[in-house]
Structures are given as structure tokens and as C-alpha cells.
A and B are shown apart, each in its own frame.
Chain A
Amino acid sequence: MPCVTVTVRNPSGLHARPAATFVKAAAAYATDVRITNLTRDAARSASAKSILGVMGLGVSQGHELQIEADGEDAERAVAELAALVEGGLGESLPA
């Protein structure tokens, strides 16, 4: 099962705006994507397609985020979502 760990560098973590960007991107894949905040609680995961689930993981700056998926486009989903997080989730880009 494709799985990758990235560090969230956004100053405010994965909260309202960056979380929304992430969830919208995750929703574009057919596969289920689960994320886990390894820094806070490695035993608890949430659907990457739920903004409430993502925010509920309490991801702050510097936290390690594990992204995993299981399905037809899983490889692509995991790689692209990881790259999106690494790139700062478009924060501060003009709308």
C-alpha cells in the first residue's frame, strides 16, 4: 500500500485554509486516502477527503504527516498529495 511521510511546514499547520486546499485535492482521486499525524497520535487516522477529519488531527508546523492510500490511483494520489504538502499547499498565493 503506497505510503509516504512528509513534514508540514505551514506556519499555522494544517488548519482552515491549507486544510481546505489539501481536502479539495484529495477529493479528486478515486481512491480512499487516509492521513495520520505521527507527531501527535500515530494510532489515529482520518479521511483526507474530510476537512473536519483533517483539522481534527491537529497538525501543527513541524508535525510529521503520513499519507496512505489503497486503490487504483493510490500511487499517484500519495505522491501528488505529498508534493502538495511539501510545496506549502499554495499558502499566500493570490486567489
Chain B
Amino acid sequence: MRRLRGIAAAPGVAAAPPYRLAFDAGPGGARLDLDAAVEVAVAQLDALAARLAAAGRPDEGAIFDAQALLAQDEELLGAARTSVAAGEGVDAAVVAAGEEAATMLAALDDETLAARAADVRDVAARIARAARGEAPPRLERPSVLVAADVAPSITAELDRSLLAGIALEGGSRTSHAAILARALGIPAVVGIPGLLAAVEGAGELIVDGTSGEVIVEPDAAARGHAIAAGDAHRAQLARDLALATQPLALAGGHRLVLAANIGSPEEAARAVAAGAEAVGLFRTEFAFLERAAAPDEATQAAAYASVLRTLGPRPVVMRLLDVGGDKPLPYLPMPVEANPFLGVRAIRLVHAHREIMATQLRAILRASRAAGVAEPRIMAPMVADLADLREVRGLLDEALAATGGDGVAPRLGIMVEVPSAVLVADQLAREAAFFSVGTNDLTQYLLAADRTNPALAERQDPLHPAVLRAIARVVAAAGAGGIEVAVCGEMGGDPAGALLLAGLGVDELSMDAGAFGGVKRALAGVTLAEARSLAGAALELDDAAAVRRLVGVRVGTA
């Protein structure tokens, strides 16, 4: 028995005989010329991409889609053609051309592009194998794939049901093989010095992708331990999967809408994968950042529509541009303010920069129509009173008239974060379509504690009874007005905060998708009656620390 240490690249444990990756010439494999070899390689890659897409893994499929494009790239093939014309063999010529291109990419001093260099070598090697008439590798029994490094297309091409684990002498956590192994749920350890020599002639291998250990010729105890660890890992995966498809509910069945906060197309896809039922906060700023000029209506519409399509039928609350002196945009000149959080920000920009907001509203309406969203939910940030809400309503009506409406009937709600909005919530509830409490800013404004000042960090806890009382007041006003209340601040993603919000009668919790699991677990252990009495008691406590102690007992964090 011999233990080797590498980099844990994909979790899980597997015990199986090693399969040393090598290519065999297929029986009677005929040598092909460059164009025919390219054709075979492209057909293999297209089939691979289609298979992954059909298996519900379109992101991985896209890697091979891009490889198929590379295989037909004239810059790559042109170099190979020149060498072939000069008398070199097709396989050597294409490998050399691929190596040259890969070196060029790797020299760009960019981590992502260095990984793309592996794609180019992979494609060149595939064309070379086709030119030599070689068949792709095949597994005959459950095995641990052992190699110096492995091309991503090989990992995906091998029969998944027989691929027990992966052990590589080279590679890193971010190499394609590692990413694919994680996506496929195959335990993998990479970057293991001396692996190939140690495995030579070995009959069995344990790959522990959680700890990063590989054991060659394990004894009975090590094998037993590995099998138990592998079973435990699979059971945990099954539990996580079951949780992902479960709704957000209290013990006894009272449901809350589980929503995600997103700020980019990538996060939209992640929210869908994590099982979000809605998006409670779509931060539209991403369309405005890192630009020299304001995005025009068509550009914004395309960006929003792409996110809306990703989210399909899920309700999406799109928040209007929320910028201010603390995060200025180069094309939106803002005077320097002594207190940007109390300054001209969010909808208050409507006076100085009316066209920016008007353009965004038109873009949202156009994107909604394009994505088939009949009732887009639009949220105005920093609304202090009815005058603010009516100002935005007026702009929205103008945008509707300008875009022709076309069956799109927007619902305009507000972000409740300014203390005055809490105090006049009863008035606002008559004209707003929904409330969403932004607990981060509400906490800073209620407690007069600058979020950006680390010396006041302890005063930033939304579990403070003053914040809880504000939320209770907002919930009551919404109930009287017949509208729904969501919470889209950090508080909703904190198990203790989520429990209190459920007890206060909030309808929807919107949070980073990564917080779903913890919040679901916290709520599942408490009934609605318990949550209500907990929230009622919290309202009467002295400070945030006391509330944390009270609730922490119930969510296991005290």
C-alpha cells in the first residue's frame, strides 16, 4: 500500500482498478488526409456537444461546440496545411500547429486563456488521432482513469457509468478535466507527483477527491474506509438534491416564496439551478457598469431580455438603477456629496438625469415584451413618500405610451428602505403594487449607522428590535392594503433573520442562491405558531444581541 498526495479536485471517494489512458490504433484504421481528419473530429465533437446538451448539461456541451469551431479554424489549419505541403505527416503537422497556437495563447498571461490553450492542444490531438485512424479510448469495466493530464473531451467521451474516478499527475483545480469531473460528480485528484510511476502494474487504486489522497494497492482497512466514505458522500449529495427541489416552508406546511437576488446573467442561471421560485431583486446596475457611455435602450433591452428568458416563467422584480455618489458612473456626473447615502441617489436622480430613468423604463418594457413577460414587476429604490412613487409612476406611464404598451402591464412596487416610507407605509400600500424591504439600508438609516464605517459594524445588525418593529409595521400596512411583502436584504438569507421574518408575516424571502439550503433547514424545524411567538418576543427585547441569543437557540447558531 502506498499513499500519494495531490490536489483535491472533485469530491467523493472511489476504489477501482486503474485505466492507463493510451490510444490504440483501431483495427484497420485507415490514415486520413487533413480535411477528412478534420471532418471526423468535428463530427465527434458535434456529437459530444449534442449528447451533453441532451443530458441537461448545455454548459459543458458549449465547450465542445467551441472546440468544433476550433477544429475548423483557418488560422490553425492554415499552418498545418503549409507543413503538409512541405512533406510533413498530417498528424505531426496538426499537432505542431496546435502547439504553436497553444503557446501563443498561454503566453498571453491570462489564467483563463491558459486553460483555452489546453482546448487547442486537445483539438489538435483529436484531429491527429483521426488522421492516424485511431479510435477514441474505451473503458471495459469500472475504472479510475490515470494519466499525466487528460483532455476534457476524453473525460466527457468515456462511458460515465464505468468512470469511477480520475487521478492525474498534472493538472490543476481549474483545468477542464477538474471542472468536468465536478460537474459529472466523479471523484478526482490532480497534480499528484510520481503518480504514473507508482501506479505502474497496480491492481487497485483509491481516489479520495475530498481529501486529495490517492492510495495505490490499498489494504482491506483502507478499502473499507474508502467505500464507507464514498457512500456517505453520495448520501449527502442526495440530501442536498432533495433539499434543492423542496419549497421554503415552516414545519406544518406554511409556505414562503423562495426568491433569489441576482445581479448578472450568470447569477440568473445559478438561481434557476438552485431552485429559485422567483427573483426578488434583479439589480440592473450590471448593464451600466464598466462603460464609457450610458447604455442605450436597445442595449439595455437585450441585456434584460436575456436574463428574463433565462428565468422563464418565474416572477422577476427588476429594480431601477440604484446608484449615487458612493458608486458614480463615468457618464453620469454627480457632484461630490458629504453624505452620499443621504444624497442624490437612485430615483432622486430623476430630476438631474430624467432621460436615464426614462430610457431604462422603456428598455424594461421592451425586454418584457420580447421575453413574453406580461406583467413585469418594477421596483423603485429610495422611495420616501407618495410624491416619489407618483413621480416614477408618471415616468412609467410616459414609457408605456412611448413603447405602445403592447399588452405589457407593469406592476410598480417600492423598495422599503427609507424610514419615512415605513412611517407612511399605509399610504404607500394604496398605490404600490408590492413592498420589498431592503433591510441593509433600512438598518443603516434607522440606526443612523453608516454601513461603510467599520467602527459602526456592530450597529449594522438587522435583528435589532427597532428594525423588526419597522418590518412589523410594513407588514401590517401591506396587509391592510392587500399587497405582498418581500424582504430582499441580507437578513432574509440569514437563518435567524429568515425565521423572524416568517414569524412577522413576510410573504417572500429573497437572498443569494447560496443561502437557500441554510434558510430552508432553519424554517423546516419551526411551526408558524412558534415563529410568530418568537418574533413577538423579539420585538420586546433590548438589542440585537439579545434577539440573536433568543433565535440562535432555535436555529442552532447560539
Chain A interface (Cβ within 8 Å of chain B)?
A: 7, 9, 11-13, 15-17, 19-20, 23-24, 47, 49-53, 55-56, 58, 60-62, 83, 86-88, 90-95
Contact = CB atoms under 8 A, between A and B. Distances in A.
Contacts of B302: 83, 86-88
A56 B306 contact: no
Contacts of A9: 286, 289-291
28 contacts: A7-B290, A7-B292, A9-B291, A11-B266, A13-B110, A15-B112, A16-B66, A17-B63, A17-B66, A23-B69, A49-B74, A50-B73, A52-B73, A52-B101, A52-B120, A55-B105, A55-B113, A56-B101, A60-B110, A60-B112, A83-B302, A87-B302, A88-B265, A92-B264, A92-B268, A93-B265, A95-B53, A95-B61
Contacts of A91: 265-266
Contacts of A11: 264, 266
A18 to B, nearest CB: 9
A30 B63 CA distance: 27
A87 B58 contact: no
Interface string B272-313: 000000000000001001111001001100110010011000
B62 interface: yes
Chain B, interface SS category: helix
A7 B264 CA distance: 16
B306 A90 contact: yes
Contacts of A17: 62-63, 65-66
B76 interface: yes
B62 A51 contact: no
B306 A50 contact: no
Contact of A51 (B53, B70, B265): B70
Nearest to B49: A95
Interface in B62-100: 62-63, 65-66, 69-70, 73-76
Given A61-B290, A86-B299, 11 more contacts: A11-B266, A17-B65, A20-B69, A52-B76, A55-B105, A55-B116, A58-B108, A60-B112, A83-B298, A83-B302, A92-B265
Interface of B: 53, 58, 61-63, 65-66, 69-70, 73-76, 101, 104-105, 108, 110, 112-113, 116, 119-120, 264-266, 268-269, 286, 289-292, 295, 298-299, 302-303, 306, 309-310
Chain A, interface SS category: loop
Q: Choose among A19, A61, A87, A94 the residue with the greatest number of B CB atoms under 10 Å from its CB.
A: A87
Contact of B290 (A12, A52, A62, A93): A62
Q: Choose among A13, A16, A62 the residue with the greatest number of B CB atoms under 10 Å from its CB.
A: A16
A72 B72 CA distance: 25
Contacts of A87: 299, 302-303, 306
Nearest to A23: B69
B65 A20 contact: yes
A51 to B, nearest CB: 5
Nearest to B67: A16
Contacts of A95: 53, 58, 61-62
A51 B69 contact: yes
B113 A83 contact: no
A15 B62 contact: no
Contacts of B116: 15-16, 55
A14 to B, nearest CB: 10
Contacts of A20: 62, 65-66, 69
Contacts of B264: 11, 92
A94 B120 CA distance: 25
A62 B286 CA distance: 12
B283 to A, nearest CB: 14
A60 B111 CA distance: 11
Given A11-B264, A50-B73, A92-B266, A58 B113 contact: yes
B51 to A, nearest CB: 13
Q: Choose among B65, B75, B119 the residue with the greatest number of A CB atoms under 10 Å from its CB.
A: B75
A2 to B, nearest CB: 18
A94 B59 CA distance: 8
Contacts of A51: 66, 69-70, 73
A92 to B, nearest CB: 4
A11 B263 CA distance: 12
A60 B116 CA distance: 13
A51 B68 CA distance: 10
Contacts of A88: 265, 302-303, 306
Nearest to A51: B69
Contacts of B61: 95
Contacts of A56: 75, 101, 104-105, 108
B52 to A, nearest CB: 9
Given A55-B105, A92-B269, A92-B310, A12 B62 contact: no
Given A17-B62, A50-B74, A62-B290, A93 B310 contact: yes
Q: What are the 6 tightest A-B residue pairs by CB atom distance, in nearest-first order? A: A95-B58, A87-B302, A92-B265, A20-B66, A58-B108, A92-B269
B63 A16 contact: yes
A49 B268 CA distance: 30
B292 A52 contact: no
A20 B110 CA distance: 18
A13 B114 CA distance: 13
Nearest to B52: A95
Contacts of B105: 55-56
Nearest to B301: A87
A47 B298 CA distance: 27
B432 to A, nearest CB: 31
A23 B309 CA distance: 23
Nearest to A15: B112
Contacts of B309: 93-94
A60 B290 CA distance: 12
Given A12-B112, A52-B73, A55-B113, A92 B63 contact: no
Nearest to A95: B58
A63 to B, nearest CB: 10
A52 B268 CA distance: 29
